Amino acid sequence: MAHLSLYRKYRPATFDKIVRQEHVVRVLTHQIERGEVGHAYLFTGPRGTGKTSVARIFARAVNCEHPVNGSPCGKCPVCQALSVNSLDIAEIDAASNNGVNEMRDLREKVQYPPVSGRYKVYIIDEVHMLTDSAFNALLKTLEEPPAHAIFILATTEPHKIPATILSRCMRLDFKLIPEEDLEKHLAGILDEMGRPYEQEAVAAIARAGAGSDRDMLSIAEMCLAYGDKLTYEGVTSVLGSADFMTNAALVGAMLSGDMPAALAAAEGALAEGKSVGVLLRDILSFLNGVAIAKMCPNAEKLLALPREFFAETARIAKLAEGRAILRATEIFTRTENELRYASSPRISLETAVLRAAMPQTDLDADALILRICALEKQVAALSAGAPAAQQPVLQSRSAAAPVPRALSEEEGTAEELPPLPEPPPLEEIPPWEEPAGQVSEGPARPPRRSAPPRELTGTRRSAEDVPAKQSAAEQAPAAVPDAPFAAQTAAERSPATAAPDDSPEAVFGLFLRRLRKLPKSGVVYALCRDLAPSREGETLVLTTDVRTVSDTLNADKHRSLMQEVFAQIGVAQFEVRFATADRAEARDGIEQLKKDFSDYPVEIK
């Protein structure tokens, strides 16, 4: 006896055996029960979701003499006749018969009345594969169909169907089948076959089916050939997944920042013969499991892993930070997308492993520059005898949050606080060119940006975050040890404190706002934010006490970007200057005075 695939052997014969797709089944059974069937249907949806199965059941049901709940009875003479020969039901695979001749042939034959039942049903699978002229021929038939003809067009790509055809069809969309339904379906079939199985194995196969019943059943078939009992281990070896514990070692090492161990585990998996693509998917799937174990109280049920495997997943989840899991998932998702274009997939994979193993940092040069700057600032503070590591944590975090901004804990705190009346967003602040009298939307805030010591208390985040930070500073001054900052913030909000428009601070503030809007200005913007502006004759002098900042900004590439923006706002000459630690300290004092007296019309030098 010929071997029948599981999918064909267990093809549903009645609507109630269709997995999911109740919305489609309800429409069709309703029509059959009322005797109001249409002439043309379009079944769309991903492959393996039951389009052809439903079409076949429907084709027999419309002919059945005594349909049961809309499904063919299987007993009446017509059902019997159709089970022997199916002259009245024609299946055409448009993928292989995509020509105009087939459609013309169909147009002729459709005129003859049905042999045994009431309707002739044409099921055209993969209908989007028809050629234009074939579509035209089909359209002619659809325009004036004989009363006894029903067309069911099935496709995975409805967007390729001409509108003239679409408009003549009743469209029914099939959906991907959820894992638990696939699982139930497979378990039912295995019970019927009398094959023993582990629940975890069934769950793993259902997951691999990815919403497609047909795919799941063909995977199940491979796994059943592997041994008498369907075991989780058998399934993972058939699916080509790396050994669970190898994955666990890799992901565990990665999330705990152990680069050598993570790399070694990746090497090991590849040496066993896993392809890069399979390993990547395994890592992503494992990370997903870790995320679920971290976040969901009912993770054990959701993951349906063997006990010791779940224990290991939960252990890794407990040790890892939620943010690190998320970040690693993002890195590997991106890598998976890029893999098809990668000249060396292996290097892409290893790079992803390394990046994921370095929490809060990236390997790009921009991020490194920022980190070096932060370190130099700490050194400068130490050598100046300042209360050394005043905000070491915040500083290092500011370094760690590179230009593609990462979520910081402070943001979390700030967001939890009750909302305060916020200063106007930067965009609402009138442009620099406008006369001072028109400043009505809010106080000018730019000067605050130019104050290095103030900025250090926060993280280097994008300017959108400033209002949130201010709220935090005011609401809980203890969180930001710099009390004058809060006072300063409050002072700034009073309309009386609008800075004179031609002050270096205002000019520089405008510069920063313009700069921020430019694409690729991330590093320059981040570095510029800490500069202190002043004026020497016609030259706008921007001072920093960090050599790397001045060196980087004075590099041609960055300087020309700054020049471009300054030219837009009418500043012809500017200079980025490195101040020694001593001078920086003195200047800080002056800055502080300037700030404290910014309400008064005095000039501080």
Query: Which residue lies nearer to Zn ion by CB, 87 or 110?
Result: 87
- For Zn ion, which residue of 76, 210, 264, 375 counts as binding (CB under 5 A)? 76
How many whole angstroms from its chain centre is CA 564? 35
Query: Which residue lies nearer to Zn ion by CB, 73 or 210?
Result: 73
Q: What are phi and psi of 68, to 5 degrees?
A: -105, 115
Q: CB 35 → Zn ion: shortest distance, Å?
A: 14
Q: Which of residues 137-156 bind Zn ion (CB under 5 A)?
A: none
Query: Which residue lies nearer to Zn ion by CB, 66 or 520?
Result: 66
Separation of alpha carbons 455 and 482, rounded Å: 10
Q: Are 183 and 25 in contact (CB under 8 A)?
A: no
Cβ-in-10-Å burial (0-12, 13-18, 19+) of 243 comes to middle
- For Zn ion, which residue of 28, 32, 64, 524 counts as binding (CB under 5 A)? 64
Binding piece for Zn ion, criterion CB under 5 A, among 66-74, 290-298, 475-483, 566-574? 66-74
User: How do beta strands 40-44 and 89-93 pair?
Assistant: unpaired
Binding piece for Zn ion, criterion CB under 5 A, among 68-76, 193-201, 432-440, 445-453? 68-76
Query: Which residue lies nearer to Zn ion by CB, 76 or 270?
Result: 76
Do you know the residue count of the chain? 605
Q: Are 55 and 123 in contact (CB under 8 A)?
A: yes
Q: CB 55 → Zn ion: shortest distance, Å?
A: 17
How is 228-288 classified by DSSP, letter by letter? Answer: SSB-HHHHHHHTTPPPHHHHHHHHHHHHTT-HHHHHHHHHHHHHTT--HHHHHHHHHHHHH
Query: Which residue lies nearer to Zn ion by CB, 6 or 64?
Result: 64
Query: Which residue lies nearer to Zn ion by CB, 76 or 139?
Result: 76
Q: CB 66 → Zn ion: shortest distance, Å?
A: 6
The tokens of 388 are what? 């050394």
Q: CB 79 → Zn ion: shortest distance, Å?
A: 3
Q: What is the CA radius of gyration of the chain?
A: 35
**DSSP 8-state secondary structure symbol assigned to residue 68:** B
Query: Which residue lies nearer to Zn ion by CB, 32 or 549?
Result: 32
Binding piece for Zn ion, criterion CB under 5 A, among 64-72, 300-308, 414-422, 442-450? 64-72
Q: CB 73 → Zn ion: shortest distance, Å?
A: 4
Q: Which of residues 302-361 bind Zn ion (CB under 5 A)?
A: none
Q: CB 72 → Zn ion: shortest distance, Å?
A: 5
Binding piece for Zn ion, criterion CB under 5 A, among 69-77, 99-107, 399-407, 449-457? 69-77
Q: CB 82 → Zn ion: shortest distance, Å?
A: 8
Please choose, from the candidates 402, 392, 157, 353, the residue with its C-alpha nearest in 3D space to the C-alpha of residue 254. 353
Listed in sequence order, the residues at least 6 apart from 407 whose beta carbon sits closer than 8 Å to its beta carbon are 323
Query: Which residue lies nearer to Zn ion by CB, 76 or 302?
Result: 76
Q: CB 239 → Zn ion: shortest distance, Å?
A: 41
- Is residue 79 within the footprint of Zn ion (CB under 5 A)? yes
Q: Which of residues 379-418 bind Zn ion (CB under 5 A)?
A: none
Binding piece for Zn ion, criterion CB under 5 A, among 76-84, 357-365, 369-377, 535-543? 76-84
- Is residue 73 within the footprint of Zn ion (CB under 5 A)? yes
Q: How many residues bind Zn ion (CB under 5 A)?
A: 5
Q: CB 78 → Zn ion: shortest distance, Å?
A: 6
**What is the signed CA dihedral for 208, 210, 215, 217, rounded to 10 degrees?**
60
- Is residue 110 within the footprint of Zn ion (CB under 5 A)? no
How open is the CA angle 362-363-369, to the nearest 5 degrees?
90
Q: Are 41 and 170 in contact (CB under 8 A)?
A: yes
Please choose, from the candidates 192, 196, 220, the residue with its C-alpha nearest in 3D space to the C-alpha of residue 208. 220
Query: Which residue lies nearer to Zn ion by CB, 62 or 204?
Result: 62
Q: CB 23 → Zn ion: shortest distance, Å?
A: 25
Binding piece for Zn ion, criterion CB under 5 A, among 47-55, 59-67, 130-138, 578-586? 59-67
**DSSP 8-state secondary structure symbol assigned to residue 133:** H
Torsion sign over Cα 329, 334, 339, 340: positive
Q: Are 531 and 560 in contact (CB under 8 A)?
A: no
Positions that interact with Zn ion (CB under 5 A): 64, 72-73, 76, 79
